[in-house]
Structure 1
Amino acid sequence: MFDFDMLGLAPALNEALTRAGFSEPTPIQNQAIPLALEGHDILGLAQTGTGKTLAFGLPLINHLLAEPGKPAPKTAKALILAPTRELVNQIADSLRNLTDGTRLRVATVVGGQSINRQITFLARGTDILVATPGRLIDLMDRRAVDLGSVRHLVLDEADQMLDLGFIHALRKIAPRLGTPRQTMLFSATMPKQMEELSRAYLENPRKVQVSPPGKAADKITQSVHFLEKPAKPSKLREILSRDMDALTLVFSRTKHGAEKLMKGLVADGYNAASIHGNKSQGQRDRAIKAFRAGEINVLVATDVAARGIDIPGVAYVINYDLPDVPDNYVHRIGRTARAGREGEAIAFCSSEEADLLRQIQRLMKIDIPVASGTLPQGAADEARGAKPGGNRRRGGRGGPPAANRGGKPAHTKPGGQSKGRRPRRRSAAAS
């Protein structure tokens, strides 16, 4: 493994990486950065949580530092498109940490925020523009931004943009970009449409792949509980009560379901908040900030958060509802076991969701171990491949607490103090 300072980055970037505590590149960074520095178009495939932001961000900033001149009013030199507001903000925060102390400016445009404020900021021009496609088109229609100076394009989480129908927006944006340009496309999965997308927007790309599409991080312990829908609330509370201090992300399929679930948890004394499409951007940002800081430890979310949360401390991901799109399961559970840590992913599966489980297992080419319960024979046939004898890590939430070598419960703090057995009454619902 190389050090970052061996990749040929500008001294200012190496200093920023040192300040941030980065010393060695991840596999996707190690392979993609040298190729991107040479100016090649990049097709990068890597599971979530492997460092794709730095893989495109470092060479992008390196190129811009070498280019003379400031951006003209209403223009940008580089454009990064991402599917969700949370992911846009996450990318921008990472890039600002790297450009701190340089002349480069990073701007964001997303829906749910004041478009007039964004127009005012863009009037001065920016070096790097990070945007969701919808709001960017709104600004283009108002002639608030001119993309003709863009010579670097990044499409992050491109597969989700395809799922959300952003391909039509991309077709409106791409013709307005400058040429020639370098394009980097990064994704965690590789659906068939992705090949078509890469052929349309990348020129002789270098393909970088560090894990098979649909594969979860190695340090995620997975399990599934078979139970019907009415039993899910009590099972969720049973699991949460085993480790009250851990940061836990709970996924619901619908906005209404997420809000109802969060309010029920708060009423029962759990420290919970929610984020979904019916929340304002301010509410979503505050909830994520509180979750990151540990002020709340249960965050209930829809798939709006499946790729927009990079919080290394997330210990558990609970799929209260299985996603309709199998790829989203991979992205959801990728919110844990980040930055080399271990994590646990727990799924609830009812009879109605048996086929969804089968699709997920087919995509991942694994049988998810069963922690508890059984399905009726017909549904079990749909979900065949899941085997009993769950893969429980140190008595984690996926099954009953196991004894460690000292005979103490697995979730016991040093000194024998029980960890959070009494639900806390302090709550911080997003508002």
Structure 2
Amino acid sequence: MSFDTLGLAEPLLRAIREQGYTTPTPIQAQAIPVVLQGGDLMAGAQTGTGKTAGFVLPLLQRLMKSPVARDPRSRIPIRALILTPTRELAAQVEESVRDYGRYSGLTSMVMFGGVGMQPQIDKLRRGIDILVATPGRLLDHHGQRTLDLSHVEVFVLDEADRMLDMGFIHDIKKVLAIVPQKKQSLLFSATFSDEIKALADRLLNKPALIEVARRNQTADTIAQKVHPVGREMKKELLAHLISSNDWHQVLVFTRMKHGANRLVEYLLKQGITAMAIHGNKSQSARTKALADFKSGSLQVLVATDIAARGIDIDQLPHVVNYELPNVPEDYVHRIGRTGRAGAQGEAVSLVCVDENGFLRDIEKLIKREIPKEIVPGFEPPAHEKPEPIVLGRMVIGEGAGRGGRRHHQPQQNAPRGGGGGDRGRGGDRPRHEPRSAAPAARPATTHGGHVPAHAHGRPAGGGNARPEPRRDGPKPQPRLTQPKPR
């Protein structure tokens, strides 16, 4: 099958050819005809399956063929709205709209927090066809009456599962109340949980259902490996692997932003170019880090799970789990950024004794054992015992006691994570690390009354662990209930 057989117009086919694509992916082959027919769609697909082109291409064609009804000021109204959970993903999607729509005559813009509102207002006043936005900044503009969504013909909710993970359900409902009831609606999600199905019932009208590349599957093109290592030797092992193997374009995952910063500082001292990307970084710093990483001028990009959304590189060769996620599905999503488009990729995990339970959960999910290889000189100490990992209010890992996880009491009057840049001042911030962190609380202590030195998420020099700052919306109420074991 080729793109020529899908019913796309010549201006779009020309742009596709210039991008170097000839054959649609499974999600594109199934979704494009459905969207072109004008029906609603519920699609199960994760990043790396080509889902963005699956909705951008037919969306462009539908707008190209429908007449433009200008507003009373003769401006082009917003006719398509694409909602994404993060700034980086919004920027990626809008870039795809521009790439595929370069010969369509349509205009687009991206809108997110962390940058000034006035340039966005100026562009809105000139009129655009397609708006790609994050929920918080979109609602900021609506509250200030700087945009009009009454002419939206196509509404796309991208990565709906991550939207719910980040606590955007109330913002999504507000957006649904703003856009017209009569429209074409498309929902894309990596998983179909009960919450996603409930959202789909509210949003979609007799949708077609497409599901490809389930989230608990790992591609055969990804070589997975675990290096058991002592907890205090991880950074030395990572530097050794990068230098001895002459790795370039290495995406490294940490649990918390503080750990990302400390790791970058160490790598730079070893002569390895590295930058961190997380919610505390300015938008310009995040954009520069991504651009340098994609161009190959930056050797290592260290990221948290939320900040890594939107990192979409076709031939990323190496992904390293410096710290295993405590949500096994996040492992699959992390390593899915390599081994794409038939290319070979490598996913390496540095695992200390505290994380063995996470590793067992991951292997159970993907239904395979990941090969273990001890690197000479970095053997885990034989006497090393599991110790707890502090993650916000949670204490997790092998050392967290019976059951693997427990909570301790929150500190009274403790400040919540994510100060500054709140709604109304243009801040798009995640409410919390998805399913893995909570607002700040007093760190857990060992029997000796101190926080373990390796406690992940603890800022340098002591103090409270803070989760990834919020992307949008009001501050969440503290969660005092224990999350369901996964």
Q: Give TM-score, length-normalised by structure 2.
A: 0.75
Give the aligned partner of residue 478 of structure 2: none
Are residues 74 and 18 of structure 1, via their aligned partners in 2, closer, same or farther at CA, if it must alter by over 3 Å? closer
Aligned counterpart for 1:244 among listed residues 230, 242, 246: 246
Partner of 2:326: 324
Instruction: Give the counterpart of 1:106 among 91, 102, 108.
Output: 108
Match of 2:297, SS? coil
Paired residue for 2:466? none
Deviation at 1:206, TM superposition (A): 1.1
Deviation at 1:364, TM superposition (A): 2.5
Asked if residue 277 in structure 1 is aligned to residue 279 in structure 2, the reply is yes
Q: 1:225 aligns with which of 221, 224, 227?
A: 227
Cα deviation code 1:267-315 (max 9, x no counterpart): 1100111111111110000011011111111111111343311112311
1:40 aligns with 2:42: no
- What is the DSSP-based 3-state SS (H/G/I as helix, E as strand, rest coil) of the residue aligned with 2:129? strand
Q: What code does the residue aligned with 1:34 have?
A: P
Deviation track 1:374-421 (CA, whole Å, cap 9, x = no partner) reads 7979859999xxxxxxxxxxxxxxxxxxxxxxxxxxxxxxxxxxxxxx
Deviation at 1:74, TM superposition (A): 8.2
Does the Cα contact within 8 Å between 1:45 and 1:213 map onto a contact in 2?
no
1:214–1:330 contact (8 Å) kept in structure 2: yes
Q: Supply the distance in 2 between the matched residues of 1:114 and 1:53 (Cα, whole angstroms).
A: 27
| Contact residue 183 and residue 201 of structure 1 kept, 8 A | yes
Deviations 1:132-188, CA, capped at 9 Å, x for gaps: 111111111111111111121111111111110011110111011013111111122
Alpha-carbon offset, residue 352 of structure 1: 2.5
Give the superposed CA RMSD. 2.2
Q: 2:205 aligns to what?
A: 203
The one-letter code matched in structure 2 to 1:367 is E
Distance 1:257 1:377 in 2: 21
1:305 & 1:242 partners in 2: Cα distance? 28
Residue identity opposite 1:248 in structure 2: V
- What SS is found at the alignment partner of 2:373? strand
Corresponding residue for 2:24? 25
After TM superposition, the structure 1 stretch with the greater mean CA deviation from structure 2, 248-257 or 37-46, is: 37-46
Task: Give per-residue Cα distances to partners, 1:49-95, cap 9 Å, x unaligned.
Answer: 11000011111111000111265348410111111111110111111
The Cα shift of 1:123 comes to 1.6
1:106 aligned partner, one-letter code: S
Contact 1:74 1:122 (8 Å CA) reproduced? no
Please state whether the residue corresponding to 2:350 is helix, strand or coil.
Answer: strand
Distance 2:403 2:368 in 1: 15
- What are the within-5 Å matches in structure 2 for residues 319-398 of structure 1? 319-372=321-374
CA contact (8 A) 1:307 1:331 kept: no
Residue number in structure 2 paired with 1:76: 78
C-alpha spacing 1:361/1:75, structure 2 compared with 1 (3 Å):
farther
Distance 1:218 1:62 in 2: 34
The number of aligned residues is 382
Q: What are the ranges of 5 or more consecutive residues in structure 2 without an aligned counterpart? A: 387-397, 405-486
The 1:193/1:242 distance shift into structure 2, 3 A limit, reads farther
Matched residues in 2 for 1:75 and 1:362: separation?
50
In the TM superposition, residue 196 of structure 1 has moved relative to its aligned partner by 1.6
What is the SS of the residue equivalent to 1:296? coil
| Cross-structure match for 1:16 | 15
Cα distance change of structure 1 residues 361 and 47 upon mapping to structure 2, 3 Å threshold: farther
Q: Once the two structures are aligned, what percentage of the paired residues are identical?
A: 44
Q: How big is the shift at 1:263? A: 1.2
Higher-helix-fraction structure? 1
The residue type equivalent to 2:268 in the other structure is V
Q: Report Cα offsets for 1:87-134 as digits up to 9, x if no partner.
A: 110111111011113320111101111111111111222111000111
In structure 2, which of residues 173, 183, 186 is the aligned counterpart of residue 181 of structure 1?
A: 183
Task: Give the ranges of 4+ consecutive aligned residues of structure 1 lying more than 4 Å apart after TM superposition.
Answer: 373-383
Query: Counterpart in 1 of 2:473?
Result: none
The 8 Å contact of residues 74 and 144 in structure 1, kept in 2 or not, is answered as no
2:53 corresponds to 1:54: yes
Partner of 2:340: helix, strand, or coil?
coil
Query: SS of the residue aligned with 1:185?
Result: strand
CA distance in 1, matches of 2:20, 2:403: 47
1:265–1:272 contact (8 Å) kept in structure 2:
yes
Residues 76 and 127 in structure 1, CA contact (< 8 A), matched pair in contact too: yes
TM-score in terms of structure 1 length: 0.84
Aligned to 1:171: 173
Q: Tell me the distance in 2 between the aligned counterparts of 1:226 and 1:135.
A: 43
